[in-house]
Amino acid sequence: MKLVIATRRSRLALWQADHIKHRLEALHRGLSVETLALSTRGDELIDRRLDQAGGKGLFVKELEQAMSDGRADLAVHSIKDVPAELPPGFTLAAITAREDPRDVFVSRSYQKLAEMPRGASVGTSSLRRGAQIAERYPQLEIRLLRGNVDTRLAKLDRGEYDAIVLAVAGLERLGLAARATAHLEVDEMLPAPGQGALGIECLAARDDVAALLAPLADSATTACVRAERAVSRALGGSCSLPLAAYAECSEKLRLRALVASSDGKRVVRCDLEGEARDPEAAGERAAAALRAQGADEILGI
């Protein structure tokens, strides 16, 4: 049997697709897995923020089209890049064990955000990161930084930014962990929903593909990510919203979430416990708690 994985062309996306390819082939004797690398609008539009260009769906639409057309059987995504609502007919068949969910500070001149002087520039494409930095360090200049991980590091190295903020997992998957200057703990920089986990998408009707993917799913990560994505879904699911959500799962599920204005001047937070067997309920409760603190007004800013 042969499967085809649709993937973006970036080095990180190709690594992720190859990682899932090798795991599937190791699990299922006689299975052959190929990759189909595609360019997405999200990769091509590198001069605008995602919320201005059309949102997270820009990274997945072409991959979903390839599955609809029968050119691919599944797609591998960084979950944080997947819209909270999938199009009809698609499903996240497996969410893999989460790697490090944190963000990382990278700079050639400074050791941490708190050391940066007034007017120093921090590059990020994420409204979530920008708002949290602006809340704590309003003296810094938050500047748009788009492109893949290698492109962003190259811009930093050319001196276009004084520092940049990236996801730890991306650096580690590319063998670039040594570039990290300082890890940002989740209390300082709450992650995006699903950050650090891979999601594998296929057509909802492809029970055969879902069965092959099932052994890759991690139950604890899946519960956490479902809770985080439920917060986003309940609040509109748009990347035009500086929203963060992070869950941890042991006997109970602990979920922290926040919504912020893009300038970081208004931030509302919640921290609650829920049941791992019903993560969506925890996510909806978190969204309600944020709304009770004025999240709807912030959404309109």
Whether residue 290 lies inside any domain: the answer is: yes
Closest CA to 87 of 116, 61, 111, 56: 61
Say how many domains are in the chain.
3
Residue 88 φ then ψ, to 5°:
-55, 140
Q: The tokens of 214 are what?
A: 């099932």
209 and 71 within one domain? yes
- Residue-by-residue DSSP string for 214-281: GGG--HHHHHHHHHHHHHHHHTT--TTS-EEEEEEESSSEEEEEEEE-TTSS-EEEEEEEE-TT-HHH
Has 278 been annotated as catalytic?
A: no
Cα dihedral 8, 198, 282, 49 sign: negative
Residue 191 located in a structural domain: no
Residues 271 and 253 in one domain: yes
In a domain, 189, yes or no: no
Q: Are residues 212 and 234 in the same domain?
A: no
**Domain with 38 in it: what CATH number?**
3.40.190.10
Q: What pLDDT is recorded for position 238?
A: 59
Say if residue 65 is in the same domain as residue 132. no
139 and 162 share one domain: yes
Q: Which residue in the list 43, 73, 81, 103 is annotated as catalytic?
A: 81
In angstroms, the CA 136 to CA 188 distance is 9
The answer to whether residue 247 sits within a structural domain is: yes
State the pLDDT at residue 299: 79
Pairing of strands 198-203, 90-95: antiparallel
pLDDT for 241 equals 77
Q: What is the pLDDT of residue 237?
A: 63
Which SS3 state, helix, strand or coil, does residue 171 take? helix
Tens of pLDDT along the chain (301 residues)?
999 999 999 999 999 999 999 999 999 999 999 999 998 665 544 554 444 444 455 668 899 999 999 999 999 999 998 999 999 999 999 999 999 999 999 999 999 999 999 999 999 989 999 999 999 999 999 999 988 899 999 999 999 999 999 999 999 999 999 999 999 999 999 999 999 999 999 999 999 999 999 999 999 999 999 999 999 999 986 556 789 999 999 889 999 999 999 999 999 999 999 999 999 999 999 999 999 999 988 877 5
* Residue 89 forms part of a structural domain: yes
- 38 and 154 in a single domain? The answer is no
Cα within 13 Å of Cα(116), Cβ side: 25
The domain containing residue 171 runs over which residues? Answer: 103-184
Query: Any idea what the CATH number is for the domain that residue 224 is in?
Result: 3.30.160.40
